[in-house]
Chain A
Amino acid sequence: DVVMTQTPPSLSVAIGQSVSISCKSSQSLVYSDGKTYLHWLLQSSGRSPKRLIYQVSNLDSGVPDRFSGTGSQKDFTLKISRVEAKDLGVYYCAQTTHFPPTFGGGTKLELK
């Protein structure tokens, strides 16, 4: 299985600050169709995960442009600019390029 390594495991942030989360995969996530199926999810406390970004850099509908995703092959980054209180929770990267789909271990974003 593809191992997804997220760092850091936790982040303490002040409102308005910008943060980045890293996600590295054990194999290239480029599929045979040329697309890269790396996604970012946010699970706020007590709620179901919500997909924020799909295929590395595409924002889901309603996701503010304070969120951005970059990367390629095996190395990916989620950046959150001007963090707001509603951004707090656990962020996961996920790959669906290879079977089975796998998730990173999560990065808990909390208030400083």
Chain B
Amino acid sequence: EVQLQQSGPELRRPGSSVKLSCKASGYSITDYLMHWVKHRPEHGLEWIGWIDPEDGETKYAQKFQSKATLTADTSSNTAYMQLSSLTSEDTATYFCARPGGYWGQGVMVTVSS
């Protein structure tokens, strides 16, 4: 059974960074792209980018080019997203998602002083 298990909620200060994880089970992450999506209730869903864990190739939406960095560790079958220079606008729930309709449970990131 395909599962994407994300790390727990995060509280960060403005200006800091955070690294989120998404551990895949039931398949090898090298077999599919891994996407990341941002959700804020008043703004809906926004696509951040994808990584091809097989070769590390990444592609980002323009607005997240300097905000998000996607990586993957094939040895642990885990994808990561680092968010830098955090502001209140980054307070959101972040999901990893795999083609075929599979989503992680989401991780809430709160940015507050």
Contact = CB atoms under 8 A, between A and B. Distances in A.
Q: Is the interface of B mostly helix, strand, loop or mixed?
A: strand
A49 B103 contact: yes
Contacts of A60: 101
A102 interface: yes
Nearest to A104: B44
A103 B46 contact: yes
A99 B62 CA distance: 10
A94 B101 CA distance: 12
Contacts of B44: 92, 103-106
Nearest to A63: B101
Interface in B31-54: 35, 37, 39, 44-47
Contacts of A100: 47, 61-62
A50 B106 CA distance: 12
B68 to A, nearest CB: 13
A101 interface: yes
Interface of A: 1, 41, 43, 47-51, 54, 60, 92, 94, 99-106
B12 to A, nearest CB: 22
B20 to A, nearest CB: 14
Contacts of A92: 44-45
Interface of B: 35, 37, 39, 44-47, 59, 61-62, 95, 97, 101, 103-106
B46 to A, nearest CB: 7
A51 B47 contact: no
B99 to A, nearest CB: 9
Given A92-B45, A99-B59, A100-B47, A48 B106 contact: yes
Contacts of A94: 45
Nearest to B48: A100
Nearest to B35: A101
B45 A48 contact: no
27 contacts: A43-B39, A43-B45, A48-B95, A48-B103, A48-B104, A48-B106, A49-B37, A49-B45, A49-B95, A49-B97, A49-B103, A50-B101, A50-B103, A51-B101, A54-B101, A60-B101, A92-B44, A94-B45, A99-B59, A100-B47, A101-B35, A101-B47, A103-B44, A103-B45, A103-B46, A103-B47, A106-B45
